[in-house]
Structure 1
């Protein structure tokens, strides 16, 4: 028997793959698909608006992982989508591939869709590429929020190196209404104290409402404040946009929750636990 020559072995790391898609009609659930690490739960709620809670059973994302979420509300329907907990982007090996997240959202005629995921926490040397795309009908109502936390203040984490690309795109009746690309890398983090970058913040959030007359809410929301949070509110042409930043994720989370409750005139999903 011949001995095999000694050969270096490069381990193949297992990668996360997950897809979860939900279609909701005016009279209830129309379709549900889930595979891999992505799960979609439909908890019992007292509200007339059903909820979908997405869950990544892998516990976080790292190099080469891929998640795909899709929510579709048919004509006249209503749906709230969220995540069970904060998503976490963990350290990636040097030169490793990005973790990827794709979120596709569709709201039909007269539909109402709220996309309210909990925050994404980015760890040192993490790499994340995320795309969120919404296609909404001319008379649909769409509300979203996205929050990023650059390390956990309570754990003393200071993030020096990571790479994030985050793209949001909203189309109403086929026409581009909102496009926002965001990139954070080591160069920006090195200038984090500058007022035109992060101004020292480690947590940032965006809230957007797209609905006829949404701009009227701007004056209602401007008086809402939270200690430790700096925010700006703008409204124009059926759009409402709120930008907020804080030195830590917790006060930002409280501010976002207060704003969302005011906009929705309803409580947040129980999984938020604010």
Structure 2
């Protein structure tokens, strides 16, 4: 009775959604279901923290995962994930992941998830959208690792559609998209793309004072084994980092976060 495996279409798929609403005085609402959970650890210093967790342990074909944060006017918070997200081999439809972040007037949100590890054959469509009210700002981090270097993994098949869009008062102020597929992977070694890197990170700050931090950000880009660059436009600071290994990349990101923000790093991170 255990000799046969059901077709992929009949296998159970993971679905989860978690939504946290915070006001200046703390938690207003919490909804969670399926594989998505949200925790609010008690903090004695720094911003209030929201920690999201995918109890399914990763994303495979057809899985759907949604995290959402809403900050009321004047609220400030940090949202992160308990561990690295893993996108596993998918032979059918891509996994779907979405992050919805809403920041009320004069509010602030740090969205600092841990890295996403893409295994060989992974298929993932992900969209992160941020809606900022007037006077609100945010800091957004995205880290992607192409296989685990210590395990000798190197993806040869891959589908990734990753998009981050920030709107303020109904106008798009930041749009960042990354697409990878089987045809693109052999070209990543080129100098115009990843130049041999296996790990990449993008840190974007959306706020009127963000360009003023450009010199401070560039001064912090000194981690050996990491190639980085920072640029600023009105209302934006964008930093990109490339590395062959995820630990130097994490150390560089930690150094950047310490330089750009006054609060401690997320307590859940393994530093």
Aligning the two structures, in what range does the TM-score lie when normalised by the shorter sequence?
over 0.9
Quick check: 2:46–2:264 contact (8 Å CA) kept in 1?
no
Q: Quote the offset at 1:159 in angstroms.
A: 1.2
User: Relative to 1, partners in 2 of residues 1:238 and 1:10: Cα closer, same or farther, differing over 3 Å?
Assistant: closer
Q: Quote the offset at 1:138 in angstroms.
A: 2.0
Map 1:105-254 to 2 at 5 A. Answer: 105-224=101-220, 225-254=222-251
| Aligned positions, number | 265
Q: Secondary structure at the match of 1:64?
A: coil
* Residues 124-150 of structure 1 deviation map (CA, whole Å, 9 limit, x = unaligned): 001000000000012112111000000
Quick check: 2:216–2:260 contact (8 Å CA) kept in 1?
no
Q: CA RMSD in A?
A: 1.2
Distance, in Å, in 1 between the alignment partners of 2:79 and 2:196 is: 31
Q: Quote the offset at 1:10 in angstroms.
A: 3.7
Q: Secondary structure at the match of 2:183?
A: helix
Aligned to 2:23: 25
Structure 2-normalised TM-score?
A: 0.95
Aligned to 1:34: 32
Q: Which runs of 4+ in 1 moved over 2 A?
A: 8-11
Unaligned runs of 5+ in 1: 1-7
Q: Quote the offset at 1:250 in angstroms.
A: 1.1
Find 1:45's aligned residue among 43, 46, 50: 43
Distance, in Å, in 1 between the alignment partners of 2:209 and 2:7 is: 58
